Structure 1
Amino acid sequence: MSESSTDLIEAIRFGFFAEKGTSKGVFGKKIILEIKKALLAGKIRSGEAFPTVHQLSEELHIPAKIAFQVISSLMAEGILEIQEGMGTTIKGVPPSSPMLRSAFLSNEAEHFATEARFLGLKEGEVLDTLRSYWI
């Protein structure tokens, strides 16, 4: 495995396993989130090699099916691409339209707001929490 792939696996592993009690149903979503966070933070860069399904599966101790779903989702989102002679590489943060961003955030915001209300959080507490994750 290349050095950049090892760095990527470490970035994913750190965030992925830092959260206790992750159920199998959210493994793929959590891994995708960690990859996006690593990309935004500059821990991984456009053009770097991305691990294969087998490497991702072995290094993160997840089923190959989940590793395949992660790679497929990232390719569909335009974050990964296949380059002849290089394999799968990081393409970067894909451009998006205001309408796509709004649609994505609407679903995420609804989920976040529902969970916050369920936990009995006040609006100020929710905004403070959101601000703490703003990069």
Structure 2
Amino acid sequence: MLPFPVAIQPGESPVKQVVFAASKAILAGVMRAGDPFPSVRDISEELKLHPNTVQKVVQELVREGFLVVRPGVGTVVTQGPKAPDDERRRALRDSVEQIVVDARRLGLDCATLVDEVETTWVNVFGAPRRTGTVDGRASAARRPGGRKA
């Protein structure tokens, strides 16, 4: 059994789906630095994916800094990627924009979107909410009148 749950869904790249599930498990602490990562063969057999597809998953996780391949030892989980703050924000911006547009299309307001993000954060990582703050600043959704600082 894999240490991260994933059910391959049609219509999206299996590589993206497995990379997402594995990174989520690493970030949530299900798999910790130094833990062995399942072999290409084990993942391939469990998920019924071609070994070449699973090898792409491992390569992507190595590229993103979640795994390291140690000759004679195998593939192990690392501490995770450590990019500078501005680089991390830039990488996140496109995803956030997509989520904001999707929320607006569904008729949701900013406060509802922020609440959903916070709830999901807690559900995935078990971390307590940082009520009303974003990087130590009050969020627009929580400020009276929703004004920006």
Q: What TM bracket, shorter-length normalisation?
A: 0.7 to 0.9
| 2:26 aligned residue | 39
In the alignment, structure 1 residue 48 sits paired with structure 2 residue 35: yes
SS in structure 2 of the partner of residue 133 of structure 1 = helix
| Displacement of 1:23 | 2.4
Q: C-alpha distance in 2, partners of 1:69/1:114?
A: 30
In the alignment, structure 1 residue 132 sits paired with structure 2 residue 124: no
In the alignment, structure 1 residue 74 sits paired with structure 2 residue 37: no
How many residue pairs align between the two structures?
A: 122
Higher helix share: 1
Unaligned runs of 5+ in 2: 126-149
| Displacement of 1:103 | 1.6
| Displacement of 1:66 | 2.8
Pick from 100, 109, 117: which aligns with 1:113? Answer: 100
Identity %: 28
Cα deviations by residue, 1:10-40 (Å, 9 ceiling, x for unpaired): x422xx23xxx83242432232222222112
Unaligned runs of 5+ in 1: 1-5
In the alignment, structure 1 residue 27 sits paired with structure 2 residue 19: no
| Displacement of 1:62 | 2.6
Larger radius of gyration: 2
Q: C-alpha distance in 1, partners of 2:85/2:100?
A: 21
After TM superposition, the score normalised by the length of structure 2 is 0.71
Q: C-alpha distance in 1, partners of 2:103/2:49?
A: 29
Mapping 1:59-70, distance limit 5 Å: 59-70=46-57
- Tell me which stretches of 4 or more aligned residues in structure 1 moved more than 4 Å: none
Cα deviations by residue, 1:56-115 (Å, 9 ceiling, x for unpaired): 111122333331221111010111111121111111212111122012110210121122
Q: Which gives a bigger RCO, structure 1 or 2 (Cα 8 Å, sep 6+)?
A: 1
Q: C-alpha distance in 2, partners of 1:12/1:63?
A: 18
SS in structure 2 of the partner of residue 94 of structure 1 = coil
Shifted more, 123-132 versus 56-65: the winner is 56-65
Shifted more, 88-97 versus 62-71: the winner is 62-71
